[in-house]
Structure 1
């Protein structure tokens, strides 16, 4: 069994490696060694997460996906969460999260005990994934309400556009020598930002 640690943050401004030491300490306490870290800055509400699916592709049956919190894995809606679960189950990947004590038992190598713990853990994973999604939706709703109030008062100006960054992204896209992931790494932005600039560039070229 290989332990594969997954670290995720939503934005480039947040350090996705923040929980690395905690995961290493947990593994050491359980007599395990982390074989690889998979790190990315993508929204947990989206399945567009290259590092997560690289981890899944690399994993062998029985490998462990170790993460700090369940919401690092999923803030997905029900349909996407079911899809991700099915993918993990097909590869027989064990999900262990520091904030889910029932998952800690998944570190056992006893097959009978592992099956028993898996049944309990699946239920708890579903519950925490649902809570994480609700928290995501609640925060988005509160943010939207705040924006509407600010607009009503005439004080909302929106997010300031980073013109220099966007111009750099478009230059890379025009050159066609870098993948989106490489552009994200070079510029320090999200996939959504690259996608937006690609759409704008396409519109400009077809105008």
Structure 2
């Protein structure tokens, strides 16, 4: 199989603004309540990192209104859109598994449906890195898998677009976050058709 990260990069580059067109209504409806829950753990002007920022909507737009925001995405096309959509945010093109930040640099980290684009064998180390990047008392807000599955989908959203996912199951994610040193503050199953995902808010003590 082609490098999974290249599949993800090429897929989101190919989708460009079609991704937002496809998900606009559902994201606007669901993300705001989730984000309102997350920011209860933050203070104004806290520094926030988003892993897998996409085109910046609606997360970067919401968070950058009150916080110092950095968004990272593997897709240059999505980052270009994010810079146009949310000029007050800061955005970088990068592989999230290769990032390097100082210990305690961020008060919050957001990773919504993005960790599950990373090969599963790399996810525990990334969760440990997230713990290191957070300051004491800082929180991570993630939406991850609920059932174990790794694979690709062809013609995802737009004909000719291939996408890759790699999920652990719900209990495994709880174990990984706990083993990294997080305390789970909130956990919720998000039903989506015949399947679903797991929402986690976890705090670094």
TM-score by length of 1: 0.32
- TM-score after normalising by structure 2: 0.33
Question: Which structure carries more helix by proportion?
Answer: 1
Work out which of the two has the higher radius of gyration on C-alpha atoms and give 1 or 2.
1
Higher strand share: 2
